[in-house]
Amino acid sequence: MKINRYPLAFLLFCCLMSFGLGAFLNRPETPSITAAAIGQAQKLIGLEFTPSETDSMLSSLEEQRVAYGKLRAIPLTNDVVPALVFNPLPVGFQFEKERKPFKTAVQPGKVTLPASRADLAFYSVNQLAYLVRTRQLSSVELTRFFLERLKTHGPRLQCTITLTEELALQQAQRADQEIKAGKYRGPLHGIPYGAKDLLATKGYKTTWGAGPYRDQIIDADATVIQKLEAAGAVLVAKLTLGALAMGDVWFGGMTRNPWDPARGSSGSSAGSASAVAAGLVPFAIGTETLGSIVSPSSVCGTTGLRPTFGRVSRTGGMALTWSMDKIGPICRRVEDCAIVFDALIGPDGKDPSVRDAPFNYDGTRKLTGIRVGYLKNDFERDYPTQAFDQATLQKLRELGVELIPLELPDLPSRDLSFIIDVESAAAFDELTRSNGDDLMTRQGKNDWPNTFRAARFIPAVEYIQANRHRTRLIEAMAEKLKDIDVYISPSFGNRNLMVTNLTGHPCVVLPNGFRPEGTPTSITFMGQLFGEATLLTVAKAYQEATDFHLKHPKE
């Protein structure tokens, strides 16, 4: 049997870590790779080699083990991207050619200050923007208001890692000066926000939520931080995330769900969703590799937009899985997501995955002509939130939507999930080799430290083959959606979350009900690649026909 010797060499090295690092330093005392060791290693990959084939490998494997050591001696920081760039576009995909002005819905009358200033906590971005633009409320006043809420409620929810108070007040003062001088930048000008603490911010710690990095300072601003500053937004806090973007447990504790503080907020954009739901910030920035915007938004009752892969630059953000990481807004309303998203999109010349595609959002657009599908079999099965989801489908029908039955491609998806393991293990290779992973708060069987270790035994051939299956999945999804603009899916309990994170499709998740105990449920709207404008139109129409997004937890 003929195989590629390089991936096998990599696997064998991982299997033989007990030999130590002597070979990498060319120490003569390091044991040689033996035929017996190869015999054990091949059990892991389900292959079998003859004695003569095994003997022929030995010298090549020794050479490769030395090469690994030489490469490892050259530092690779987390911001160094692989030479391979994931492309989510199926063959023949065409972007919209025309670029149209960004347009929000018409404001329903003038916005005024509430009788109780506390009510400002749950105003939309658009409403707050009107107050700031008309100078009924200064950005400094608004910023101090949200800083005070973060100080009051943040410790209880464990949703804040660092308050950026000095920076925030500087940005707010500048916003007030510019607005007074007639230099209005747009609806985010003077509006406070929080950022998931895996986005680098100059002058402040960027901890990635993990003990080994709790004192890390990156002397740069992530591209999304720069873009929001250019839009005039005011950064008030670096918000919690599950350690290295998993779950809601970070080095300081567990981020809490404002609807039930005895429970976690889910993750990994834990603090972003918790803070928005509790009215501690008007909007926040989250990230998703596999559910990290969808899940906390569902648990906390926020509205989250996971963009198409390649929409928003990840420069300055912690890399976890280069071919799946995405950055998007977490807000209370769909149109808030559109406003923030419009400020984030576009290339920065640094992230090679980002494409310069139009975002032609029109908040006044009607549902007429938009083709909407739904995952029929998934909605018809028995699951805990089925009644809420059926009510969502009925509401869409009442809005005049003709729902088209749809099913996902019958191709592997969950079996491809080890793509995440391989890429994340590479992103944190040095952490594993240095035993720095022992400093991580969570050390369970399925937590990152063990996932990174186990991933060392995944052959490179299988990783490449998985991505070839991923190509087939991309093409099959394009075929399934050729006559669909948007489709609806249960948020959890089916294959949709895994499939669409692999294919790079965008989604909006928003609340669609409340359980008897008072915690929110959610529904997911899916869009075409780079079809966020139409996706947001449909999600907005549903949201505005309900009032779930207007409810908020008790303080």
Has 124 been annotated as catalytic? no
Q: Are 72 and 24 in contact (CB under 8 A)?
A: yes
Are residues 442 and 247 in contact, defined by beta-carbon separation less than 8 angstroms? yes
- Tokens found for residue 514: 């409340």
Spot the catalytic one: 138, 266, 268, 522.
268
Q: Is 299 in contact with 272 (CB distance < 8 Å)?
A: no
Query: Is 265 labeled as catalytic in the residue annotation?
Result: no
- Cβ neighbours of residue 35 closer than 8 Å, sequence gap 6 or more: 51, 54, 55, 58
Q: Which two tokens stand for residue 334?
A: 């769909």
Task: Give the three-class secondary structure for 408.
Answer: coil
Handedness of CA 395, 398, 401, 405 (dihedral sign): positive
As a whole number of angstroms, the distance between CA 339 and CA 191 comes to 12
| 443/529 Cα distance (integer angstroms) | 37
250 touches 243 (CB < 8 A): yes
Q: Which residue has the tokens 């657009």?
A: 365
Report the relative pairing of strands 403-406 and 507-514 from DSSP bridges: unpaired
| Phi/psi at 12 (5° precision) | -65, -35
Tokens of 191: 């509006």
Identify the burial level of 26 via C-beta atoms within 10 angstroms of its C-beta, where 0-12 means exposed, 13-18 middle and 19 or more buried.
exposed
Judge residue 44's burial from the number of C-beta atoms within 10 Å of its C-beta, 0-12 exposed, 13-18 middle, 19 or more buried: middle
196 is catalytic: yes
Q: Of 430, 512, 412, 516, which is closest to residue 470 (Cα–Cα)?
A: 412
- Asked if residue 114 lies in contact with residue 121, where contact means CB atoms within 8 angstroms, the answer is no
Rounded Cα distance, 165 and 257, in Å: 24
Question: What are the C-alpha distances in Å from 125 to residues 227, 239, 345, 479, 555?
Answer: 17, 19, 18, 37, 21
φ/ψ (deg, to 5) at 459: -65, 145
Give the whole-angstrom CA distance, residue 71 versus residue 49.
28
Catalytic annotation, pick one of 266, 269, 292, 489: 292
Cα 100–chain centre separation: 27
Out of 196, 227, 326, 540, which one is annotated catalytic? Answer: 196
The Cα–Cα gap between 40 and 465 comes to 23
Active-site residue set: 196, 268, 292
